[in-house]
Each structure stands twice: as structure tokens, then as C-alpha cells.
Amino acid sequence: MSLQLSSTAPANAFRERQQMVRERYRQQVNPGEDFDWLAVGETVPGRFAKMVCRFPERVAVYDQSEQLSYRELNEMSNRFANGLLAQSEQTPGVVALFVSQDVMALVAALGVLKAGKAYVGFDDAFSEKLYRHILDDVELDDVELGDIEFDDVANVMFVSDVAHMDLARRLAGEEKPIFSVETVGQFSAEQASTIPLPEAIAVLNYSSGSTGAPKGVVQTHHSVLAQAAGFASLCSLGDGDRVTTFGALAWAGTFWTLFGPLCYGACVAIFPTRQSHISQLIDWLEQTRVTVLTGMTTTIRLIAESANGRQLPAVRLVHIGGDTNYRRDVEIYRHIFPTALISAGLGTTEAGRMAEWLIDQDEAIDWEVVPLGLPTPAMTIRLLDEKGDEVVTGEPGEIAVQSSYLAQGYWNQPALTAAKFRIDPRFGSQRLYLTGDMGRFEANGLLRHLGRKDFQVKVNGYRVHVNEIEAMLLALPGIAEASLVLQGTEAQQEVLVAYLVLAPQASWTSDELRRQLSTNLPAYMTPQRFVFLPELPKTPNQKVDRSRLPALDSFRPDLSTPFVPPLSPLEKHVASIWQDILAIQPVGIRDDFLTLGGDSVSASRIVNRVLAELSVQITAAELLSAGTISAMASMLLTSMLADTCNNDRLQALPPTA
């Protein structure tokens, strides 16, 4: 079965209501011109140039400390482009960007596109091994992608800011120059002489491969503009809008939120989530009157949890992507954002936003898990069986999206490109992209997500192949069987759990396994909990029955660190917070936070509790650096003693059982 907005389907009533919600919403705002889906014959730099002519003094981008008008952003990105061209040939090439989440990230990304080159972004959460693998993959000659050849890119350019210069130098080596973003003022502010073509490659987005072998999704100027402007059109962006972007340049959705607003004369609001406390984010959202809040489900949940009853009425749209949303989430969002429309749906790096459900304050939600919605404009969604035939309404199938605006394919992986991007004559001349996600159309036309075809899951917005991590575990000596699942409920953060069977005489502890895996995997891909079983449940044909794996218990995992109980009132109070957030008890004062399965999300939640109950400011980064309850309590004690108003509070901590 396939659905698109112009097709006839048993969803007329629901589609009409969705259209009514969108039209009512557009009447309340001042959206820019509708995006022309039939003629994407320009590029992001070309579209941006038109906005510069129309709104030269309008604010284009701001962060916590700096803002640039459209004219200033245009001039600075021109300087950046001319600086790149002064150090390289005026030919296509790849630029590796090592920059922080601030205004200069947008300057750099836009400057690369103006120089006629493509950029590959990175995330501070990447391991150095992952950095090196991506760079080795990019530095290839004569890469062919369908009708496009991208030759002689072995001399990848390195661009870095001061904060990342040491890392960039280690990765580039002594023989390669590094262009410093702090030097852009030395170059001309005139428009660069290069004019990128729509079919030229613009962005390489590397997914976080769990075996250290990520794949690079190739975006042309054509697909970048279509996805970015499509995002802006879906959000009805226009005059006065301030749109958040939280992701690093490595994230696929980041170029939607960076370039989309610039295509419509709106403003990009950049907030460095990794370097700041969540309470600072809420203050910032309120003070700068952000109107469109975009982010992963985990980020939006954290904002809602940390609001402490505060409301953000200036936010008119909450655009959510990434993980599963529950009915309870929507109820909380409606309270925190009382005037906002909520946009939930499905998007991928390869296709952009392909399905969307607009939820207003009156929309009834009849499911615990929020559906994905209806196909977005210019997208046809088909559900296919194993033979590639369409399934009927109500039957599950693999979600395939058909569009003229898909990514080009996978960098240096022609076989994978051919397998995932296809032309099926039965469905016309547009390419199909097979997502690997399973779905089902309800009778009213809503698309529901049924999980991954290949046991792929999302952890904090990152896509993880559990079967590949299982292979890594099975390669370790003494691991006889391994199965990974994502466990959790709407009330508790989902975590990646490894169920293991050890060989006779083998001996592993949870922290030993975490240390072993962390040498090759980023923290968010390492299982947060390890459960040791005598055997794994099996189906009749002897495959692991994941549905019968035992529920995650709250007992302290098997650690090599001896258990040391908390003694002081402060240690006991901190321990109770850790136990609540991590859903583990007891927790010893020398137990390592990461070994217990902690991550950036749970760290932020602990920090929120500490701030609310002890009135002490501490960032998630400081918590991660402390690592244990003992170290954290010592850090808190130092801060509290330095503040005389907290001395009485220290002596009057509530008793902890």
C-alpha cells in the first residue's frame, strides 16, 4: 500500500482534519512563500543570496554570545569561502569541519558550500578511532555515484577552531595545513568566484556505525536545498521566527535547521547543549523568545522535565524527531508549550522528513505510542513485503519512500547504494529508498512504526545496529551467546541492555565489558546494562526469542569495584538521587557513573535533581568528570561551603533511608 497527500485512500477524514489544522496554523503566523517542489533548480547559497537582498539587516543567526545579520553572515561566509579557495584549487573537494556549536559553525558550513566544496561534520562524542575511519573513507580517488563522478579528493582540507585545533592536528598530521576559522577576517568579503551546481555534492553525513565502519550519506545541493527548504515549509517559517538547532554538524537534521530558516528569512538560534546546563537552555529559550523548537525526543523531554512548571508560550511549534514519543509525552508538551502545535513524525538522513502528524491542543490521541502521521509533500510512502510487493492496509511492511529529492547514495559503497536506492518500473521513474523500518497503515491512513527490520534501534537519537554489537561481544573470549535489546518504558529512559551467556570457567564483570567495548565504541553505543543468564530463550527454530528476555531489574550490576555504602548525609542524599534516576539499587559511593549505565541524558536528570533539592549549580560535564558519588559529594560540599547561605542547608539535609 502507498500513501501520498494527493492520492485516494481511506484517510480522507483524517487528512482533511490535518489540512484544516495546518491552514489554521498558517493563518496565525506569517509564513514565507510556499516551496516550489517541482523546480529545485538552485542551491542553498543561491537561495540565501535572495534573502540577503530582501532582509540585509535582519538577524540571521545568534548563539549565547554573538549574532549576525543576513548581510554580516553573507560577508563572513564569503570571507570563509575565499579563505578556503586561497588554500586549495577551485575544484570540488571535501572539507573536514572541526568546529564548536556556535555562530561560526553556520559560517563554516555555508562558506564551504559557497566555495563549491562539500563538508563532512563531526561530533565531540565521536571516538578518535571513529574520526580516523571517517577521514580514511573520505580520502579516496575516483569515487563514482550513479551519474556523478567525484575525482581526486585525496587532499581533504581540514578546518578547525581553537577549541578543536589539537584534535585536528593529530588527525591531519604534520604534512596537511589546517585552515583556522579565526583567520577569516583576513580574506575578501566579496562573493566567491565559484558557483556550485545543483547536482554537485554538498554534504557527507556519516552515520555512527557500531562496528567502527559508518557509512557516508551523500547529499547534493539539490537534496540539501529540498530537505532544508522542505523542513522550513513544513514548519511554515517566516518573518520573525527563531528556530533552534542543537545538533553538531555531523547530525543529518542539523543542516535542515541551519539552512532551512535561511531559505525563508527566518533566524537560526544555536545553543551548545554539550557545554551548558539544561536550566540555562530554558532561560535562553524564554529570554530570546524562540518560536520554533526543534530537537530529538530525548532533548525535548529534558526541556519539559526541567521546566519545573514554567511555560514557554512564545514557542508556536515543537518539531520532534528521533526516538519514540508516547501519549504521556504529548500531554506534558501541551502544558509546557500551551500555544504550540506539535509536529511528530519520521525522518531519515537519506530522505529528510517523510511523515508527519500535526497535533494541536484539541487532537485526541488514542494510542500509547504516537503514530508517525501522513506522508509529507513530494513524498510517497510504500509498504513492501519481502518480495518487494505492496502490502494491504493493516498489514506490516518495510517503509519505502519515493521522491525526487532523495540523497545520492552512500560514499564509496556502490553495492549498498544499489540495494537501498532503487527504481521500480511498477512505481514510475522516481527512485525508492528502502528505510529498513517496518510500518503499518491504519484504516484512517496514519502510519505506525513497528521497529527496525534489521534490529536497528535508536539510543538518544543515535542509530545503533544491535546485531553488529552482538558480533563484537561474541568475538570476546568467554562470551558464548549475546543478545541486545532496548529496554525501558515511557516513564523510564530506554537503555541498551546486553544479555550474555558465559562459557564455562569464563569470568567477566559489567565494568570490564564496558571498558573493553569503549575502546572501539562511543559511549552512546556501548550497552548501559549487562545481564548474565545461564541460557538465552529460544524460538522453536532455535533463534533467540527477544520477547522472552527477562525484564531489566533494579539490582546493582556485577562490578569489579567493591560495594562501599554512603555514610554522610550528603553522600546518602546523592546516592538516593542516583538510584532513582539510574533505576539501580544499591549504588556504592565508588561505583563509576558510566559503568552503572549512565549517559548524558541521565546525567542531566541527576543535575536537575541536585539543583532542585540542594540549590547547587553543577553541569552534566562536571558530573561526568566526577564519576562517582564520593567525588560528586565532595564537589558539592566544596560548593556549598563556599556559599554561606547553604551551610544551614547542609546541616538540614532530609533524612535518607
Q: Which residues pair with 98 in a beta bridge?
A: 160
- Report strand pairing: 456-459 vs 462-465: antiparallel
The whole-number pLDDT of residue 153 equals: 44
In contact, 547 and 515? CB cutoff 8 Å:
no
The whole-number pLDDT of residue 152 equals: 43
How far is 175 from 186, CA to CA, in rounded Å? 23
In contact, 120 and 204? CB cutoff 8 Å:
yes
pLDDT at 293 over 80: yes
In contact, 537 and 548? CB cutoff 8 Å:
yes
Q: Which residues pair with 301 in a beta bridge?
A: none
pLDDT at 50 over 80: yes
The whole-number pLDDT of residue 67 equals: 95
| Region 311-334 average pLDDT | 87
Q: Between 3.90.850.10, 1.10.10.10, 3.30.300.30, 3.50.50.60, what CATH number should domain 456-548 receive?
A: 3.30.300.30
DSSP at 83: H
pLDDT in tens, 612-630: 888 777 776 776 678 899 9
Q: Which residues pair with 481 in a beta bridge?
A: 501
Instruction: Give CA separation, 633 vs 281, 479, 575, in Å.
Output: 25, 37, 9
The whole-number pLDDT of residue 11 equals: 58
In contact, 656 and 571? CB cutoff 8 Å:
no
* 25 residue type, one letter: Y
- CA neighbor of 48 nearest in space, from 294, 260, 291: 260
| Region 64-72 average pLDDT | 95
- Residue of 462 and 137 predicted with greater confidence: 137
Range among 74-88, 198-212, 297-311 rated most confident: 74-88
- Residue of 402 and 639 predicted with greater confidence: 402
| Region 503-509 average pLDDT | 88
Q: In 503-607, which ranges are E strands?
A: 529-532
Cell of 255: 543542516
Q: Let me know if domain 569-651 sits in CATH 3.40.1110.10.
A: no
Phi, psi of 327 (to 5 degrees): -55, -40
The count of residues in the chain is 657
pTM strictly above 0.85: no
pLDDT at 229 over 90: no
Which range, of 2-11, 306-315, 500-509, 566-575, averages the lowest pLDDT? 2-11
Q: Which residues pair with 382 in a beta bridge?
A: 2, 400
pLDDT at 222 over 60: yes
pLDDT at 280 over 80: yes
| Region 362-375 average pLDDT | 85
pLDDT at 14 over 90: no
pLDDT at 9 over 50: no
Which range, of 256-260, 456-460, 507-511, averages the lowest pLDDT? 456-460
pLDDT at 262 over 90: yes
The whole-number pLDDT of residue 249 equals: 85
Which residue is associated with the grid cell 565489558?
513
| pLDDT over 90 percentage in the chain | 34
pLDDT at 212 over 50: no
Alpha helices per DSSP H over 362-509: 414-420, 466-474
The whole-number pLDDT of residue 571 equals: 92
Task: Report the mean per-residue pLDDT for the chain.
Answer: 83
| Region 8-35 average pLDDT | 72
The whole-number pLDDT of residue 369 equals: 82
Architecture of domain 44-222: 3-Layer(aba) Sandwich (3.40)
The whole-number pLDDT of residue 211 equals: 37
pLDDT in tens, 388-445: 999 999 898 999 999 988 999 999 889 999 999 999 988 988 999 999 888 999 888 8
- Count the Cβ atoms, other than its own, within 10 Å of residue 149: 10
The whole-number pLDDT of residue 209 equals: 47
The whole-number pLDDT of residue 159 equals: 93
- Residue of 296 and 103 predicted with greater confidence: 103
- Count the Cβ atoms, other than its own, within 10 Å of residue 541: 5
DSSP at 427: G
| pLDDT over 70 percentage in the chain | 87
- Residue of 262 and 155 predicted with greater confidence: 262
Domain spans of the chain, in order of start: 44-222, 456-548, 569-651
